[in-house]
Structure 1
Amino acid sequence: MAAESLIRDVLSQTEVEALYVGFNHLFSIKLHHGGLFKNYPRREYVRGSVDYVDLVDIDKFSVHELDLVMGRLKYSKDEVRYYHYLVPNGGLDDGIRPLGTDHEVRSFSAYVSDNKLMNVYVEHEISIFPSLYFTCSGSNVTIQEISEKNSKTELYGQKGKKLMLAWHENIENSEENANVVDLGIDEEQVDENPKIPIRAVQEQFQRRFDQKISMMKAFRAKTFAMEQLHGDFSSQYGRLRDYVDELIRVNPGTTVKLEVEAATDPTSPERKFKRIYVCLGSLKQGYKAIGRELLGLDGAFLKGPFPGQLLTAVGLDPNNGIYPLAYAIVEAETMLSWSWFLECIADDLDLGTNSNYTFISDRQKGIIPALQKVFPCAEHRFCLRHILENMKQQYKGKIYKDTLWKLATDTTLVYFQKDMDALKEVNSGAHLWLSKIPPEHWSRSHFSGRAISDVLLNNMCEVLNSKLLDGRDKPIITMLEFVREYLSRRIVNVLRVIDKSKGLLTPYATKLMESIKRDANRYTAKWNGGDHYQVSSAQGSQYVVNMATRTCACRSWEITGIPCRHAVAAIRCMAEFGEEHGSPESYVNHVYRMERWKQVYSHKVYPTNGMSEWSKSQVPTVIVPPAYHKPIGRPKKARKRSRVEIEEGTGAGGSKAGKTLTCGKCKKKGHNRRSCKGQEQNG
């Protein structure tokens, strides 16, 4: 490839299409090199160059050929490099794939026939800027030495293109030849890696200057640099009202409710922050367009110097993906704070106290009485994972776990009672313990079906919390902007998927219907001449399907809004008798339609201007931070994993030790996709 290909710095899409007419095996590469990836707040390739490589033969293409091209671009052959490619129509946040092994090259090659211009990115282990000294650990700490005569020798902090870690201590007392040393972190590098280890700062300094600094001094230096990037924790409260005005200005229909503590001195210009609630106008409109009366509720600790909780309300979109509705920062998880949050949601969704909405939660502190107060008629589901966690404290073993899941997934009262009786025979104590939790909170057999979802786990909130984890240790405005930027970015990412999706239903519903239709082959339907069908299997099961009410005796259709296998068998029977009917997909609830999915994500979150552009709030009082009570011990960054997560090796930092691998390609146990020698399963 290197000998025949042409390297140039400009190439248009029109030129590419014209260049390869009739040559299916040839393509061009848009090579991004000399830069690095920046992951925060979104992934970008910065400080790099772009060259185009033409007339690449896919039959001869390999990573070795890329090395030859890099040589022609004057890179050292001894440099360690990592190649990545971008999936066509994908973004850097979710479309980057490795390009190193033969298998990865084959995956890359599969895109070439339909995409004649492929983006390839080069990651360099060693920076091409020789003035910067990088640690081998990739901590992004840099040290630069500056010579200045007739000046005192000191370490200092300054803000410019580079953020300098604040530090003051003499290294030597030579007045004739002193070195001014700055221990600096580049702004883009801190954005990319905000968790630079303190120990890396210490080791870097000692290697460069043969001097030791304490952990505390290195920590203070890093803290100073982070404040320059993200702002000061205390001072941002003073601009909170300005931020609220800007957020409402650029996002029409947005609801923001800001509460302060009651003033002990009414004449004082200061008011202590208490709570803030945000429901972006676009998310409010998008959520209402879904048509699902379901919300997951959860809370998470803030990790900064001031106490508080981040409360979230999350729904499910037509593709069963998360759709955040609202979020709030409150003083703590109490009945009062949850009641306030729920009342704010009720106002935004126009819900009365008699609303029979469906909520799912982990039964956090205060949430049960708060729901009973604000929505006394609501259906409240308990996350099954947390019920299992509590159950394991007294009743351990796979039999109890399997029985609980069987009871939760039963869709009829008959099967539920049968399985409860079986549990009683195994262990009457476990039966008594579980009987104390009303089944309408955790078993599908007792769900009403109003939510059009059979969800048993509060995973929707867990997913959102994991995405917002890195924002929970930021100053309050930076944290609120972190949440808003994630929500905006998620809409963009989903729109990319929507553009590539075809058909009547969303990808989730389409895949589920394909599975249901295969299962329906095992059933026989008999028509009664009206709207009812008797559906039976060879194993002896038998259910009645009512096509007029679109229900089945198994209740699955009623709960999920998607025809069950018995209903699909009945629909096929309608065709045999010449009855008016459509495809099984046409009987799926409109919640799962592609048209609805597009409508939901047609509402965009708009960006805000920088802090210097905000108008000054006309409110005469100034908001100050809440009271700070220093906790005992070192602040914990990692979430405490539950008993279930520890045993199953899941959750943050979960170990894979002792777990059986499942191949993502052939679905068999004992190996992974990379070492698989079988063929990918069809269907």
Structure 2
Amino acid sequence: MIVNRVFAYKVKYAAHKLLHGYMHDHYQKVGGYLAAVQKSSPGSHIQLVTVESKLPTPVFQRLFMCFEGLAKGWKEGCRKVLAVDGCFLKTFLGGQLLCAVGRDANDQMYPVAWAVTEGENNLSWEWFFTHIQTFLDLGEGDEVAIISDEHQEILNAVSNVLPKAEHRHCARHIYAHWNKTYRGDEFKLQFWKIAKSYSMADYDQALSELAEISTDAAEAFKKYNPPSFCRAFMKTSMKTDAITSNIAETFNGYIILARTKHLLYMLEEIRIGLMQMLVKKRQEMTKCTTALCPRIQNKLNKEKDKAAYCNVYPSSETLFNVSHNMDQLVVNLEDRRCSCRKWDMLGIPYCHACACIFFLNQEVEDFVDPCYTRENYLKAYAGSIPPIEGERYWPKVSCPLAPPPIKIGPGRSRKNRIKDPFENPKKPGSLSKNGIQMSCSAQVSDVVNAPAHHDISAQPTQLGRGGRTILRGRGARGGQQPQTGRSLPPSSASGAGMSQSAGPSDITQVGTQASSTGRAQGRGAGRGRRGAGRGQTTRGKGAPRGVGVLFGDDGSVLTNVRGKSSREVAGTTTTMRSRKAMSQQPTNYIGGLSSSQQSNQPHQTQ
């Protein structure tokens, strides 16, 4: 049965009406839901903003939510770092959800607050940061780091509300803009090498290397304000080296299904998900037996292994010189500082500091910053989000509220999204390879269009199933060997039964004949051990495989020849001797040719 499109939409609308009612009825319940949340968690911060309109009831505009358990956990168990971002709500009413996400002691996301707004603008972001500042006691932003993309509204709001905070820009978003002009793997690696440099010495060296590649690329890099996204310029008091807002993007992906629902259902799904997350993570950490969090302990173990390559020269009980990778650094265990600034910024001893600590026969775990301990992690997840009763038990609150107006832009609505300039029109969502340097994984050099490197140098005894060579881990179907005129090494020549006095012309000729036979063997023996190839029976025994190339009395190549049988090859009838007779008669093979057959071969001169 074929259903009309208009009829299908009417059925969908009727089903949605039966399940959720009208949008006006849905927003009439917002007051009762907020009262129920406030009743179960009195210390939570909830703020509803409405606007007046021509309608008799106020219209919903914004809603801020921050539960007491999350705010208390962030203050007591997390570093003073917040990643902020906005994401779209996927309903016909539109709007955006703003979020602030922190990092716990295990270096994972810790959602703190979120808000539903009409969109990203100066007023909404400033209103959001004002509530965060009040409820989290941030003051003017002293010793606080804010990480975000380069959205102009976020930049304005942070400078107005938290003027003393360190505002870090997301390096991934900056690279996306810079990469549109300077594409290629070489530019990509150099960009992240500069951004991830901890010290000014490493930063200047990496920037000079970029200038050697392209002076314009280095000048364009400086225009993006490097102190806002390069580690070499950042403060060390926050104990984090994060230069991307990926942690906020992670939360946006965590609630992606909730964002497809209407207001109350979305807020309930977020609350239930975070309520379960707090309990689950607290239970998992109670099973941990180490003093440090698991991810931090794994990172520390890797640095311990690298410490074996460091040479330590003591100057005093707490001051050392360390040489590592042709570089010399100074480590101060008392101040917990190192010339590379990795220990200063993260609070985790890197290989230079680990080597000095081992020199004093002490434990490296004792020199890790307390913000990474298991005890601090449990403080962050000690709180909880209280459960809420169903709609029938909500307090009866008179809060007339109308849904936000549906936004309809001028002109025809856009059906297709705005595509990237380098996006392939035939493959939506995938970028083209324009400007990308192509190379092969088996090739040592990265030179584009370099000569072929799959040299067929395997002996006939090292052909696998289907005629594929298995020497040196390179798989090939026995293609023709390139005529480079090089002689095989002694080990290879002896393994194939080849005389070491054979000239380049002999090697080239034999290699060509072996390649043609290898492909013929691949068709017959490559697909399964039971069959001998397409259209051939399995009776009898075939020619001996893995010995060399088999020739007839007249010098012609025999392919797929059966024992004690005759077959016409190139118009000549040739009889093949049995394997037993061949094994009894001494034969001196040179690249698959017997001594008797060499006499029939014409002599080639180079």
Q: TM-score range by the shorter chain?
A: 0.5 to 0.7
Give, in whole Å, the separation in 2 of the partners of 1:286 and 1:217. 51
Give 1:291 shift.
3.7
The one-letter code matched in structure 2 to 1:630 is: I
- In 1, the alpha carbon distance for the partners of 2:117 and 2:6 equals 31
Report the counterpart of residue 256 of structure 2 in structure 1. 469
Which residue of structure 2 aligns with residue 605 of structure 1?
A: 385
2:14 aligned with 1:224, yes or no? yes
The Cα shift of 1:251 comes to 2.0
- Show CA shifts across 1:286-344 (max 9, x none): 11122401000000111112131100000011111110000001111011111110111
* Pairwise CA distance, 1:641: 8.7
**8 Å CA contact 1:313, 1:327 repeated in 2:** yes
2:77 maps to which of 290, 315, 334 = 290
- 2:148 aligns with 361
Q: Is the 8 A contact 1:641 1:652 kept in 2?
A: no
135, 151, 161: which one pairs with 1:374?
161
SS in 2 for 1:234: helix
Asked if the contact 2:78/2:380 (under 8 Å) is kept, the reply is no
Where does residue 216 of structure 2 map in the other structure?
A: 429
Contact 1:318 1:591 in 2 (8 A): yes
The share of aligned pairs that are identical, in percent, is 29
**Is 1:590 the equivalent of 2:370?**
yes
Equivalent position SS for 2:227: helix
Contact residue 67 and residue 113 of structure 2 kept, 8 A:
yes
**1:240, 1:660 → 2: CA distance?**
59
* Corresponding residue for residue 260 of structure 1: 50
Equivalent of 1:249, from 26, 29, 39? 39
Closer/same/farther in 2, CA of residues 640 and 598 from structure 1, 3 Å limit: farther
Does structure 1 residue 334 correspond to structure 2 residue 147? no
5 Å-filtered alignment, 1:28-39, equals none
Asked if 1:630 is matched to 2:408, the reply is yes
Partners of 1:525 and 1:573 within 8 A in 2:
yes
Residue 96 of structure 2: which of 309, 314, 320 is its match? 309
CA positional deviation for 1:244: 1.1
1:616 matched residue in structure 2: 396
Mapped pair 1:493 → 2:280: yes
State the match for 2:3 in structure 1.
Answer: 213
Tell me the residue number matched to 1:142: none
Q: CA deviation at 1:399?
A: 1.3
Out of 361-370 and 564-573, give the one that drifted further.
361-370
Q: Distance in 2 between matches of 1:229 and 1:652?
A: 38
Contact 1:230/1:474 (CA < 8 Å) preserved in 2?
no
Return the offset for 1:456. 2.1
- Report the counterpart of residue 568 of structure 1 in structure 2: 354
Larger Rg: 2
Find 1:552's aligned residue among 321, 338, 359: 338
Contact preservation (8 Å) 1:233, 1:476: no
8 Å contact 1:304–1:475 — kept in the other structure?
yes
In the alignment, what sits opposite 1:456?
Answer: 243
Q: Is the 8 A contact 2:24 2:401 kept in 1?
A: no
Tell me the equivalent position of 2:139.
352
Q: Secondary structure at the match of 1:351?
A: coil
Q: TM-score, normalized by length of structure 1?
A: 0.60
Q: d(CA) in 2 for partners of 1:359 and 1:633?
A: 38
Partner of 1:163: none
| Equivalent position of 2:578 in the other structure | none
Give the structure with the larger strand fraction: 1
Q: Distance in 1 between matches of 2:282 and 2:140?
A: 35
Distance in 2, matches of 1:326 and 1:462, equals 14
Cα distance in 1 for residues equivalent to 2:190 and 2:252? 29
Instruction: Indicate the residue corresponding to 1:398 in structure 2.
Output: 185
For 1:669-680, what aligned pairs fall within 5 Å after superposition? none
Counterpart amino acid of 1:418?
A: Q
CA distance in 2: counterparts of 1:359 and 1:392, whole angstroms = 24
Q: What are the Cα deviations for residues 534-565 of structure 1, in whole angstroms up to 9, with x where unaligned?
A: 1112x321111111111111100111111111
Q: 1:320 to 1:641 in 2, by over 3 A?
A: farther
Alpha carbons 1:420, 1:431 under 8 Å: kept: yes
With 496-505 and 214-223 compared, the bigger mean Cα shift is at 214-223
Matching residue of 1:541: 327
CA contact under 8 A between 2:99 and 2:248: conserved in structure 1? yes
Structure 2 match to 1:195: none
Counterpart AA for 1:400 = F
For 2:29, the equivalent position in structure 1 comes to: 239
Q: 2:67 aligns with which of 280, 283, 286?
A: 280
Matched AA of 1:561: G
Distance 1:215 1:358, change over 3 A: same
Contact 2:78 2:105 in 1 (8 A): no
Task: Considering Cα pairs closer than 8 Å and 6+ residues apart, tell me whether 1 or 2 has the greater RCO.
Answer: 2
Deviation track 1:29-70 (CA, whole Å, cap 9, x = no partner) reads xxxxxxxxxxxxxxxxxxxxxxxxxxxxxxxxxxxxxxxxxx
Kept in 1, the 8 Å contact 2:27–2:401? The answer is yes
Offset at 1:473?
2.2
* Corresponding residue SS for 1:472: helix
Change (3 A) 1:425 1:231: farther
- Contact 2:424–2:431 (Cα < 8 Å) also in 1: no
Give how far 1:235 is off: 2.3
Quote the Cα distance in structure 2 between the aligned partners of 1:250 and 1:269. Answer: 31
Q: Report 1:159-178 matches (<5 A).
A: none
Question: What amino acid sits opposite 1:591 in the alignment?
Answer: C
Decide whether the 8 Å contact of 2:312 with 2:320 is kept in 1: yes
Q: Does residue 1:511 correspond to 2:293, yes or no?
A: no
Asked if 2 retains the 8 angstrom alpha-carbon contact of 1:411 and 1:556, the reply is: yes
Does the C-alpha gap of structure 1 residues 247 and 476 become closer, same or farther in structure 2, counting only changes over 3 Å?
A: same
Alignment partners' CA distance in 1, 2:44 and 2:131: 12
Secondary structure of 1:629's counterpart equals coil
Paired residues of 2:422 and 2:431 also in contact (CA < 8 A): no
> Do the aligned residues in 1 keep the contact of 2:424 with 2:430 (CA within 8 Å)?
no
Give the deviation of 1:224 after TM superposition: 3.4
2:172 aligned partner, one-letter code: R
1:44-55 pair list within 5 angstroms? none
